[in-house]
Structure 1
Amino acid sequence: MSTPSRRAPAPMRSERVWRFMAAVFARFLRRHMNALRLARWGAPRRVDHPGPLVIYCNHPSWWDAAVLILLADRLFPGRPMFAPFDAKMLERYGIFRRLGAFPVDLESRRGAAQFLVSARAVLAEPGHMLWITAQGRFSDARSRPLDLRPGIAHLAEIAPEALFLPLALDYAFWDERGAEACCAFGEPIAARDLLRLSRGERLARLEAGLTATLDALSADVMARDPARFVPVIEGARGIGGVYDLWRRAVALARGRRFDPAHGAAEAERNP
């Protein structure tokens, strides 16, 4: 597949709509999840890179879009985010166009050309970020190989000053009723280093970087230890309703501070 030479304007993006929707997604996550957690070893590196960033990740859940927007908002302030989006889904969720999403037809060869034309326009600006669910489909975080789509290997050619950051995503239920959204960034890869490789070798290098990051994140997720993570956003803890009202009353009667976390309830039963 040859790299398109056409130039297109960058996808539209409204900072006003971005601010509003980032707040909406943060509230939604707090309501329905226990926390969004970043592995202590997995903070993004070289965020001050003078060229554009390409953040590529696996795609385990419906929650990914919200999580990516929140990570971009909290960890990369000042860098506009753009992302490819299934063209059919973008027709249904048009608000994402105002958040930097651009349509890609995932069911035809034309989609690959669409992706590269829009990606070229995004990455032409040094301060931009391109976020990609590089598998192009939902897949369990433990599935191997990752089978990244080949289009990502072409990006180094159209943006030789870019820096690629692998991002691992995983979700798990621990001790609370809400799930834990866990993430970690891996070792950055410079586009110029990728250009020394063939396209097939580039794809393998990118996939190896994401696989290693996922494997390390999975070990932390399975350990079920919040101390291994930094909370990016924390949700509401506890079960709620009559049960938590009763626990609150008992804590008050005993002169204790009420902690709605399930772990605290276990400690109450097993002092």
Structure 2
Amino acid sequence: MTTPDLPPIPARHSRAGDALVYWGLVRSALWSHFDRVWIKLEGVPQQGPLIVYMNHPSWWDGYMAFVLNRVVLRSRFQGFAMMEEAQLRRYRFFSWSGAFSVHRQDARSAMRSVAYIARLLAERRARCLYIFPQGEITPNDRRPLEMFGGVAHIVRRCGGATLWPVALRYEFGGEQRPEAFIRAGAPHYAPATSDARTLTAELGERLTAACDLLRAEYIAGELGGYRTLLRGRAGVNRAFDAARFLPGKQQ
């Protein structure tokens, strides 16, 4: 039974549990499945409360939020993330890292989740929400980006927040395994007085711009501004090339 002011599954932060999830699950999975994770930053948020809003092209997107929080923001913000209730019931250990449930098909339950995270963000500035406003996995290049209005409602309820648009993309290039690309736009502030429809439209425009820039830079091969955030396990091609140049090997 849930209390009126909590979602069905609230966050249950645990430092040990979070470390176990990150190193035992997230980091090892990224190392095994990706050649590299690349990132380009137009700015890094310095003040909270912070809402990181991201596009949602893949199952891997939640893992990229872990990387942003751990490696880029260096855990300066206590992270939270909305997760579909059915999924979180199956994988409750994600609540150790700040995941809490949302049931989008139940308006009353969804608003309870919004009120819950808004209250947490208002209570302490050094907190951060990772959210996918599209609400479901959507093909990367589908336009327009259709956004739910949850972020705007959270901003109003928490008294204003710093917002950070983050674009994600996954590509197979010249390596056996795919590469992940993260392009973070400039942080911007939204006051509590922001009009919900206007702010939601602005978020859509900013996130679309970040996604389109990432796509254009990848297609043009203009990746000089990207740096390696994580390097994965060497694929067969790299291992074979390395073996060719071992001492005593004939070229």
The answer to whether the 8 A contact 2:118-2:158 is kept is yes
CA distance in 2, matches of 1:118, 1:150: 16
Deviates more, 1:27-36 or 1:218-227: 218-227
The answer to whether the 8 A contact 1:54-1:163 is kept is yes
Partner SS state of residue 170, structure 1: strand
Equivalences for residues 115-264 of structure 1 within 5 A:
115-124=113-122, 125-192=124-191, 195-196=193-194, 198-224=195-221, 227-239=224-236, 244=239, 247-252=241-246
* C-alpha distance after superposition, 1:59-94 (max 9, x if no partner): 000111111111111111221110111000111111
Structure 1 residue identity aligned to 2:78: P
Cα 1:88/1:34, change in 2 over 3 Å: same
Deviates more, 1:205-214 or 1:6-15: 6-15
* C-alpha distance after superposition, 1:105-158 (max 9, x if no partner): 122222431221221232121100000011110111211111111111212211
Q: What CA RMSD, in Å, does the superposition of the two structures yield over aligned residues?
A: 2.4
Structure 1 residue identity aligned to 2:220: A
CA distance in 2, matches of 1:226, 1:119: 36
The answer to whether the 8 A contact 1:159-1:191 is kept is no
CA distance in 1, matches of 2:160, 2:196: 17
Structure 2 residue identity aligned to 1:195: T
The answer to whether the 8 A contact 2:79-2:128 is kept is yes
Q: 1:205 Cα deviation (Å)?
A: 0.7
Taking structure 2 as the reference length, the TM-score comes to 0.88
CA distance in 1, matches of 2:221, 2:19: 32
Q: 5+ residue gaps in structure 2? A: none
2:54 corresponds to: 57
Q: Number of aligned residue pairs: give it.
A: 243
1:96 corresponds to: 94
Aligned pair 1:26/2:60, yes or no? Answer: no
CA distance in 2, matches of 1:217, 1:157: 30
The answer to whether the 8 A contact 1:160-1:191 is kept is no
* C-alpha distance after superposition, 1:155-205 (max 9, x if no partner): 22112341011111111111001111101111222122x734x22111101
The answer to whether the 8 A contact 1:174-1:224 is kept is no
The answer to whether the 8 A contact 2:170-2:180 is kept is yes
Partner SS state of residue 237, structure 1: coil
The answer to whether the 8 A contact 1:11-1:118 is kept is no
Higher Cα radius of gyration: 1
Structure 2 residue identity aligned to 1:239: V
1:259 corresponds to: none
CA distance in 2, matches of 1:70, 1:253: 37
1:72 corresponds to: 69
Taking structure 1 as the reference length, the TM-score comes to 0.82
* C-alpha distance after superposition, 1:37-64 (max 9, x if no partner): 102xx2542x221x31000111000111
Q: 1:226 Cα deviation (Å)?
A: 5.0
Partner SS state of residue 236, structure 2: coil
CA distance in 1, matches of 2:154, 2:68: 22
